[in-house]
Amino acid sequence: MKHRIWPVAAAALLLAAGAASPALAGGGLPVITSLRAGDTDVTIYGDSLLMHTGTNTLTVEATGLHDSHGPELSLIGPDGTTLSVPLEPLHIVAGPDGGHGDSHGSSGHGDDHATAAADAVWFRGKVAVRTTGYWKVQFHMDGKTVTDEVKVVENGPSRAYLAFTGLAMGGTIVYGAIVRRRQPNGRR
Amino acid sequence: MVAARKPTVSPEESNNLLDSPWLKAFLKSRWFPALFSYPTLLVFGYIIYALLWGPEAASANLGTSLTWVLWWPLIPILMFTMGRFWCAICPFATTIDIVQKFFGLGRPVPAFLKKYGIWIIDAVFILITWSDHVFGIVESPRGSGYLLGLMLTGVVVTGVLFERRSWCRYLCFLGGLSGNYSRAAIVELRATPEICATCTTQSCYKGDGKTAGCPIFEFPRTMQTSANCNLCANCIKTCPNDSIRLDARPATKELWFIARPKFEEAFLAVVIVGIVLVQNVTMLSFWTPMMDFFMSVLFGSKVAAFTAIFLIAMGLPFGLMAGSAWLSGRATGESFGKNFARFGYAVIALDLAGHVAHNLFHLLAEGKAIYYNVAALFGHQVMGGAAVVSAQTIQILQFGILGLGIFGSIFTAYKIAARDKQNGMRAFWPHLVVLVIFSVVNVWLFTMPMEHRV
């Protein structure tokens, strides 16, 4: 019986070794807004589908920028609050496939970004937003200012979910504590 | 007196890792497994926070990277090399221990859980896989957070109400998965029958007052499978006679000699074939056109279309295995259920290899996402390619692992069949055909382009 297994196993191994497995590039960071001023295109990526209360990490991709040292990003809230986003240059690291996202590459959104990095300048900054509603995004560079409006939503999980899990866990713990206290020695 | 079982590894071929004095001392010390379990609990706490309150983009969420790019791919590798050791340091297990210390009622596990626990695990595993694709659990940090939070709720509730780690033994779907994979592992913890024959304390099960007994209800003295041993070392600490051994063994060896095969455990092994199939298929380039086709015939409903494909993908491996069990059983005069239970375990090696190979892609093609997100946590902004090694290297590793799994499954089926000297060959052939079909499908799936998690 042993001799009849080996050819099958060997054939399967050969079949396995001869195959190829290319990878598709995946999705990247969600775009919050795209702005255009003259020759310059600016795309602002968020860390979530929509901007949210709490800390947002904003990634800025700018193409056609003449002075890459002085872009300024700020947010203006519904109540007039102005928040400045301290932008820092983003380090782009190439992947083992040279940082280029081709159809056979094995990397995700980062490779797409890395490919685009050849003619774009990247910045990243964090900003803490406290109120929901429509905020204005203002980007200033090369002496030009462009603005757009973005929606800011409440961050975090659904309150119903938190209430359910919190009550289930808390309720059981309280029940356990009460039952144990009622036992003669205070423990089970 | 309870008779001690024979270990899978015979004394002649024994390679007891506890012969190493430093390893034995470490496992016996109070630092094991606390040295691993408490830091793991801390990281888990951060992961839950990051998943529920952190960025919603999977690629920017460290919780997602740590869970689905690092932990999930590493877990089957850990199970193969160290059995259910993860279960000893799992944050859920540590949570149970903490909750029980202060609020535990220590009630006996309900009989229905003992009887149907593995079926509940099977059902939950299928349900989670289905909901992952319908609600996007893996690709959504919030979805992952909700899943972990719900599991944590179950952990706390069962931890307060029932004795020991009932959740881990009877309800945790990962426990069911790791139980199956651990049977193929290269280490086993067993008692020495000759020493246990004279034991009167049974402290490995009951505890010795200082260290608790086996947390997942195993009695090492009679234990003949690694499925429910989490290598927590409690029995090593409590045994007064130094009976416990930690033997290195050939991979899959336990599967060759399962004395009392159970249908529900074999069923889980076959279900995992379907789950690996679904996981692979949904990441392939032809997934969208296939969904479009099913949606066109199912009134445009995405959920109905996915459910239909899901049922087919889950039903196909079971149908094939059931067919081979029926044919094999007819050849030997064995009932369908008994034959299915006996040979179902053979697919565990292929399951494990498929799981590792699939997730190796995520680990190696998306691994740098972990670095970028950890760097961002400390204020260093970096972005770029997510791949750790080239696509070609990943391919070679994937097919190497898959090849080993295919061989492991076929060889296991052969060894199971060979136990019946008279009808073994006739029982073997139908299963060989099905295993080859599973193998070819797996190999073909791994030749297709795959999409990323982050």
List pLDDT tens digits, range B210-234. 999 999 999 999 999 999 999 999 9
Which of A24, A47, A113 lies closest to B55 in CB terms?
A47
In degrees, to the nearest 5, what angle opens at C-alpha B381 toward C-alphas B377 and B385?
Answer: 105
pLDDT confidence of residue A69: 63
* Closest C-alpha among B221, B258, B212 to residue B5: B221
The size of the A-B interface in CB pairs under 8 A is 243
Q: Quick one: CA torsion of A35, A37, A41, A43, rounded to 10 degrees? A: -20
Which of B418, B443, B452 lies closest to A108 in CB terms?
B452
Residues 6+ apart with CB under 8 A from A131: A53, A77, A78, A79, A81, A152
Q: Is the pLDDT of residue A114 over 50?
A: no
Contact B389 A155 (CB under 8 A): no
Which of B385, B398, B411 lies closest to A110 in CB terms?
B385
Rounded Cα distance between A122 and A100, Å, is: 16
Closest Cα in chain A, distance from residue B40 (Å) = 21
* Residue to substitute from A107, A115, A124, interface B, most B β-carbons within 10 A: A107
Amino acid at B400: G
Helix (H/G/I), strand (E/B), else coil: B454: coil
Contact B385 A97 (CB under 8 A): yes
Q: Check residue B171 and report its DSSP letter.
A: I
Number of residues in chain B: 454
A43 touches chain B (CB under 8 A): no
Mean confidence (pLDDT) of chain A: 75
pLDDT confidence of residue B98: 97
Share of chain B above pLDDT 90, in %: 72
Q: Is the pLDDT of residue B358 over 70?
A: yes
B385 chain-A contacts, CB cut-off 8 A: 93-97, 99, 101, 105, 107, 110-111, 114
Average pLDDT on B424-428 reads: 90
The region of weakest confidence among A30-39, A72-81, A122-131 is: A30-39
Q: Is the pLDDT of residue B370 over 60?
A: yes
- The chain B residue lying nearest A102, using CA atoms, is B391
Rounded Cα distance between B287 and B280, Å, is: 10
Contact A13 B365 (CB under 8 A): no
Q: Is the pLDDT of residue A112 over 80?
A: no
Mark which residues 154-183 of A lie under 8 Å from B by CB.
155-157, 161, 164-165, 168-169, 172-173, 175-177, 179-180
Which of A15, A54, A94 lies closest to B385 in CB terms?
A94
Contact A48 B406 (CB under 8 A): no
Average pLDDT on A98-110 reads: 35
State both tokens at B172: 């945790």
Contact B428 A1 (CB under 8 A): yes
Half-sphere exposure at residue A105, Cβ-oriented, CA atoms within 13 angstroms = 25
Which of A21, A28, A180 lies closest to B447 in CB terms?
A21
A173 chain-B contacts, CB cut-off 8 A: 99, 103, 156, 160
Which of A12, A17, A23 lies closest to B391 in CB terms?
A23
pLDDT tens-digit profile of B126-185? 999 899 888 888 889 999 999 999 999 999 999 999 999 999 999 999 999 999 999 999
pLDDT confidence of residue B12: 64
pLDDT confidence of residue B137: 86
Q: Is the pLDDT of residue B26 over 70?
A: yes
Rounded Cα distance between B314 and B115, Å, is: 24
pLDDT confidence of residue A141: 80
- The chain B residue lying nearest A25, using CA atoms, is B451
Closest Cα in chain B, distance from residue A99 (Å) = 5
Mark which residues 125-154 of A lie under 8 Å from B by CB.
none
- Which residue(s) pair with A82 in the sheet? A76
Which of A1, A48, A104 lies closest to B425 in CB terms?
A1
Domain boundaries, chain A: 25-156, 157-188
Q: Which fold has domain A25-156?
A: Immunoglobulin-like (2.60.40)
Q: Is the pLDDT of residue B8 over 70?
A: no
Mean confidence (pLDDT) of chain B: 91
A159 chain-B contacts, CB cut-off 8 A: none
- Which residue(s) pair with B16 in the sheet? B247
pLDDT tens-digit profile of B258-302? 988 999 999 999 988 888 788 778 877 788 889 999 999 888 888
pLDDT confidence of residue B424: 86
pLDDT confidence of residue B384: 82
The b/e string for B297-324 (b: 16+ C-beta within 10 A; e otherwise) is eeeeeeeebbbbbbeebbebbbebbbeb
In degrees, to the nearest 5, what angle opens at C-alpha A40 toward C-alphas A39 and A42?
Answer: 155
B102 chain-A contacts, CB cut-off 8 A: 177
CB A66 within 8 A of CB A142: yes
pLDDT tens-digit profile of B308-330? 999 998 899 999 999 999 999 99
CB B207 within 8 A of CB B234: yes
Average pLDDT on B180-206 reads: 94
Q: Is the peptide bond before B33 cis (omega within 30 degrees of 0)?
A: yes
Q: Which residue did the predictor score with more confidence, A4 or B172?
A: B172
A12 touches chain B (CB under 8 A): yes
Rounded Cα distance between B389 and B352, Å, is: 22
Q: Is the pLDDT of residue B339 over 90?
A: yes
Contact A21 B446 (CB under 8 A): yes
pLDDT confidence of residue B135: 86
Which of B53, B387, B450 lies closest to A97 in CB terms?
B387
* Closest C-alpha among B370, B66, B376 to residue A56: B376
The region of weakest confidence among A5-14, A177-186, B112-121 is: A5-14
Closest Cα in chain A, distance from residue B115 (Å) = 24
Q: Is the pLDDT of residue A67 over 60?
A: yes
- pLDDT band of residue B452 (cuts 50, 70, 90) is low
pLDDT confidence of residue B9: 64
Longest dimension (CA), chain A: 82
Rounded Cα distance between B140 and B454, Å, is: 9
First to last CA, chain A: 59
φ, ψ dihedrals at A88, nearest 5° = -125, 145
CB B49 within 8 A of CB A54: no
pLDDT confidence of residue A13: 41
- The chain A residue lying nearest B418, using CA atoms, is A1
Closest Cα in chain B, distance from residue A14 (Å) = 8
Helix (H/G/I), strand (E/B), else coil: B386: coil
pLDDT tens-digit profile of A20-47? 332 222 237 899 999 887 778 889 999 9
pLDDT confidence of residue A185: 67
CB A123 within 8 A of CB A72: no
In degrees, to the nearest 5, what angle opens at C-alpha B219 toward C-alphas B237 and B249?
Answer: 80
pLDDT confidence of residue B84: 96
Q: Is the pLDDT of residue B207 over 80?
A: yes
State both tokens at A65: 């920028």
CB B343 within 8 A of CB B424: no
Q: What is the DSSP string of A30-54?
A: PEEEEEEETTEEEEEE-SSSSEESE
Which of A94, A157, A188 lies closest to B105 in CB terms?
A188
pLDDT confidence of residue B6: 58
